[in-house]
Structure 1
Amino acid sequence: MTDTTTTAWDTYARKKPGGRRLTNAKGETTWFNWTQYPDHGPGAEVLGAERSSPILELGCGTGGNLAHLATIGHRAVGLDVSPVQLDAARERWGELTGLELHQREALDFMSDTEERFDAVFSVFGAVWFTDPEQMLPAVRDVLRPGGVLAFSQRPPVEGCYGCQASYINQADDPNPLVVKRWDYTAEKWVAQLDQHGFRDPLAIEIPAPEGWTTGTLLVRAMAPAGPS
């Protein structure tokens, strides 16, 4: 990871309003959310993982989704480049059994680990902000045969596809920090996953709740099966 990348996501973390609520609309203290809206969309069932499965999150932020997976019995491993985000995650969730947090860049961690995961996921996280030509092979290599990759991100603006710039403003500097993101249509993501050897790729847009206009792109595929 670069100092600029870490600074950018630390700045984003400090600017992000509030934190995860203590309970959701059902009164649950942990829950899973793929979208940018509270109490909206599918949950952890998208990952299709059995209890006690090892699951890896790329760009875990303050750890709310990862904490839910640990609570329901998974070994939940999270990566983030921002120490500010990880400090917040440890403060709230650090006592949970099965939760493991690392300040690492996603590609670096996946190139180093020998562990294989039943699922890898990213919610507006590292999959969105890493070149898929590097990210997809790396994820495929750390998934067990038949394991699931799932990620969500904002749908692309029409006509603005591929590598785009996200700007993060700094309070004491008129020059914003820039991080790259990769915006593709659902059809393009399906083609990318197929090209990199994933099975049964599916990409759908979850409509925004009433009163909002921007939906959430949710993408899911499976790693190749092992030898017969």
Structure 2
Amino acid sequence: MPPPSQDTSPDLWQRYGARRSRADRAAGMDGTFHWDWYQRNGPGAELLGSLDGRAVIEVGAGTGRQAAHLARTSTACEVTALDASASMHERCRRSYGNVPRLRMVLAEATSYLVERPSTFDLVYSVFGALDFTDPRRLLPAVTASLRPGGTLVFSTLGHYRNGQACESRVRSAQLPTVLADGTPTTMERWVLDLPLWERLLARAGLDVVGVDTVRDAGRGGGPPMATRIIRAARPHVRHL
């Protein structure tokens, strides 16, 4: 098996990762699993169903909190925490390196999944790689990596943070951010409406099996937000 494919682009997540870890600790979030933007409402890990005997991967695992929660509470499954950011990967390793059945991988999601056909029973993402990778590339890779009957579950924005509606065509927003040395730059984020997600999932060979919307009134002065949680499955038999 080839080694994991690593992303050589600049690491845009170093400063965010530090802030996210501090915020999670301050809010007592370690050991929890939430899908919504403010990490407090709606369904949790139970939305994934029983994980016994299943191979699970989180794409864009970030600090690793959700993946570590699954590995700790579902003792009959193995969980891979995948992230393309070296700083996030190292933060995950430092925080959760002693958690049994948790495997941490530094790699770009699309390449990693393509190289592992029919490997996983469950692929999930909590505002992770599904938000920050062109879905026309990533979704077919997810399908390829899933075993027949396997599922994809991901949370994504139901609208932009300023309240602007989601995109009805596949285009990314350019978000301002800074590198570790303070250099200003931008990152891409895909904020797409539900009909477009449904079309993209269908083209990738996945059937939508459920959609939940969680609305948050706002927290700490933040704006009201809507989180969309989408569940899709790879059919046991390919559509003709």
Above 0.5 in TM-score? yes
2:18 is the counterpart of 1:10: no
- Spell out the pairing of 1:114-153 with structure 2 (5 A cutoff): 114=117, 116-153=119-156
Amino acid at match of 2:58: E
**Which residue among 158, 166, 178 is the counterpart of 2:165?**
158
2:24 is the counterpart of 1:20: yes
- What is the CA–CA distance in structure 2 between the aligned matches of 1:142 and 1:204, rounded to whole Å? 24
Question: In the TM superposition, what whole-angstrom CA distance separates every residue of 1:88-136 from its partner, at most 9, and x where no partner exists?
Answer: 2122211111000011000121122246111101111111111111111
- What is the CA–CA distance in structure 2 between the aligned matches of 1:85 and 1:60, rounded to whole Å? 8
Q: Which residue of structure 2 aligns with residue 63 of structure 1?
A: 64
Matched-pair contact (CA < 8 Å) for 2:32–2:65: yes
The count of corresponding residues between Structure 1 and Structure 2 is 222
Q: Which residue of structure 2 aligns with residue 207 of structure 1?
A: 215
Gaps in structure 2 of 5+ consecutive residues: 1-5
Amino acid at match of 1:95: N
Identity %: 30
Single out whichever of 60-69 and 210-219 deviates more from structure 2.
210-219
Q: 1:166 to 1:49 in 2, by over 3 A?
A: farther
- What is the CA–CA distance in structure 1 between the aligned matches of 2:17 and 2:226, rounded to whole Å? 22
Q: What is the CA distance between 1:209 and its match in structure 2?
A: 4.4
* TM-score for the superposition, normalised by structure 1: 0.85
- What is the CA–CA distance in structure 2 between the aligned matches of 1:81 and 1:109, rounded to whole Å? 10
Secondary structure of the corresponding residue to residue 140 of structure 2: helix
Q: Which residue of structure 2 aligns with residue 179 of structure 1?
A: 187
- What is the CA–CA distance in structure 2 between the aligned matches of 1:125 and 1:187, rounded to whole Å? 20
Q: Which residue of structure 2 aligns with residue 45 of structure 1?
A: 46
Q: Which residue of structure 1 aligns with residue 201 of structure 2?
A: 193
- What is the CA–CA distance in structure 1 between the aligned matches of 2:226 and 2:143, rounded to whole Å? 27
Single out whichever of 55-64 and 77-86 deviates more from structure 2.
77-86
Matched-pair contact (CA < 8 Å) for 1:194–1:201: no
Matched-pair contact (CA < 8 Å) for 2:207–2:234: yes
Secondary structure of the corresponding residue to residue 183 of structure 1: coil
- What is the CA–CA distance in structure 2 between the aligned matches of 1:151 and 1:75, rounded to whole Å? 19
RMSD: 2.5
Amino acid at match of 1:194: A
Amino acid at match of 1:63: G
Q: Which residue of structure 2 aligns with residue 79 of structure 1?
A: 82
Q: 1:190 to 1:39 in 2, by over 3 A?
A: same
Q: What is the CA distance between 1:201 and its match in structure 2?
A: 4.0
Q: Which residue of structure 1 aligns with residue 177 of structure 2?
A: 168
Q: Which residue of structure 2 aligns with residue 220 of structure 1?
A: 231
Amino acid at match of 1:8: L
